[in-house]
A = this chain, B = another copy of it.
Amino acid sequence: MSETQRYSKRTEHVTGSAIRELFKLTAKPGVISFGGGNPSPAALPDDIVSDISRELVATNGKVLLQYGMTEGLPSLREALVPYIDQEFKFKTDVNSILPVTGSTQAFNLLLDAYTDPGDVILTENPTFLGATQAMRLHELQVVPVESDDEGLRMDALEEAIIKHHPRMLYTIPTFQNPTGVTLPLERRKKIAQLAEKYNVLVAEDDPYHSLRYTGQSLPCIKSFDQAGNVAFMGSFSKVISPGLRVGFLACDDPRLMRKCVICKQSDDLHTANLNQAIVEAYLRRGLLAPHVAATCQRYGAQMNCMLEALERMDGVQKFTRPEGGLFIFAWLREGVNATDQLMKAVDKGVAYVPGTYFYPDGGHDNTLRLNFSNADIPTIQRGMALLAEALKA
């Protein structure tokens, strides 16, 4: 290929996940990382998945190793109906559920099926970087909407809808990435109303929902959706295993669902059957609830440990107090640059992600995101002490 080789326009200005690149820099031996969004190794159920895999392939291998339907394993779709009702508080049916290869794929399919280049998509500010990258690859105009301590501001959202005529709103209402903030009930209802009023599709991304350590579980936005304007994305990455790559899309518009299926045919034909069957076994055998309960106990203690360290930390102006999820978001003093500080922190032996990357328009240089799920309590204590030192230096 020549030096002046042309590639696709859609990839021209997308350089890949800055976080993933940053991880390569900070992945030095011995550095404690609060940077990723990885589950704790202790929360990955290797013993159970090992046994289940053997059994499933031994008893049903001729089906699981064969081609499957793009629409997913029928028995998993059936098992998802009562699970969704119980966990996320909305009624659905097998035809409105599409198992996908991680909820990452669900969002990509929605963008494929519903948006054209140049369309406007609204997001929280800050928001999940992976989602922003998918938007840019679809050549969308990303318009962040002002958020406060409780998430998206409803006045700002309606103003943005009227001004920009967006095709879609992307939101993570529960234990948001990167802030950890949870949208209150009234705002959830309001979003469903605004979506119907202005015919905006809401892409509701709710991967952390079950990881609640305090407070009451809230029904998702989709549970208030009367007109089929909310597409819901669920994931088993945070509650079973991210390496299995299984999530689901739930959507009441049969035409949109059909288009997602068509796009999935060209994407990966279908999600691997064994992986779907492992998730199904977790749901049908009652394995998920006790595993989530144990994981919540673990992560809740780790979160509290990190919050306590933040309370004592000089140089930290403010931080969020999530009720669940994987992340705490913090503000250093005005004028302090969290990206510059990161290199000092890595020298001390600890890493995080500068918050600026999560703001579609950049800025907010004094912010950072801390993950508390991956490291155990002694490691969090050591890491936070190192961070305190780095911030003093």
Contact = CB atoms under 8 A, between A and B. Distances in A.
A35 to B, nearest CB: 12
Contacts of A49: 57, 61, 65
Interface size range on A against B? 35 or more
B227 A1 contact: yes
A67 B38 contact: yes
Q: 4 tightest A-B contacts by CB?
A: A46-B61, A54-B54, A53-B53, A50-B57
A163 interface: no
A263 B133 CA distance: 9
A266 B15 CA distance: 12
Nearest to A270: B245
A262 B15 contact: yes
A127 interface: no
A45 interface: yes
26 contacts: A1-B199, A8-B114, A8-B116, A8-B259, A11-B112, A14-B262, A16-B261, A38-B66, A39-B66, A44-B62, A46-B57, A46-B62, A46-B64, A50-B53, A50-B55, A50-B58, A53-B53, A53-B54, A67-B242, A101-B245, A101-B272, A104-B267, A108-B267, A112-B137, A137-B266, A244-B273
Given A8-B113, A273-B243, A268 B105 contact: yes
Contacts of A244: 65, 272-274
A218 interface: no
Main secondary structure of the interface of A (DSSP, over half): helix
B243 A274 contact: yes
A316 to B, nearest CB: 28
Contacts of A112: 8, 10-11, 137
A258 interface: yes
A253 interface: yes
Interface string A5-49: 101111100111100100000000000000011110100111101
Given A41-B62, A243-B66, A255-B1, A262 B105 contact: no
A115 interface: yes
